[in-house]
Chains A and B, each alone.
Chain A
Amino acid sequence: MNFAIYYPWLKALHVASALIFFGGVVSVGVFLHMVTNDSPGIRALAADIRRWDHIITTPSMLLVWALGLGIGGAGHWFNAPWLTVKLVFVVILSAVHGMQSGRLRRICQGASIRPLHTSLPVAVTCAVIIAILAVAKPF
Chain B
Amino acid sequence: MTRDDYRDIELAQLRRLEFASFVEGTTLLLLLIIAVPLKHLYGWPTGVRIMGPVHGLGFCAYLWFVIQTVAGGDWRTREIARVMICAFIPFGAFFNRALLSRKMASIRNGRKS
Contact = CB atoms under 8 A, between A and B. Distances in A.
Contact of A69 (B1, B53, B65, B69): B53
Contacts of B9: 105, 108-109
B57 A65 contact: yes
A105 B67 contact: no
Given A105-B13, A109-B9, A65 B60 contact: yes
B64 A61 contact: yes
Contact of A106 (B49, B57, B65, B72): B72
A94 B64 contact: yes
B73 A110 contact: no
Given A65-B60, A69-B57, A99 B6 contact: no
Q: Is the interface of B mostly helix, strand, loop or mixed?
A: helix
Interface residues of B, number: 22
B67 A99 contact: yes
A33 B13 CA distance: 24
Q: Is the interface of A mostly helix, strand, loop or mixed?
A: helix
A101 interface: yes
A7 to B, nearest CB: 15
Contacts of A65: 57, 60-61
Contacts of B70: 102
A104 B49 CA distance: 37
A73 B49 CA distance: 9
Interface string A88-103: 0001001101110111
A98 B64 contact: yes
A66 interface: yes
A110 B6 contact: yes
A11 interface: no
Interface of A: 43, 61-62, 65-66, 69-70, 73, 91, 94-95, 97-99, 101-106, 108-110
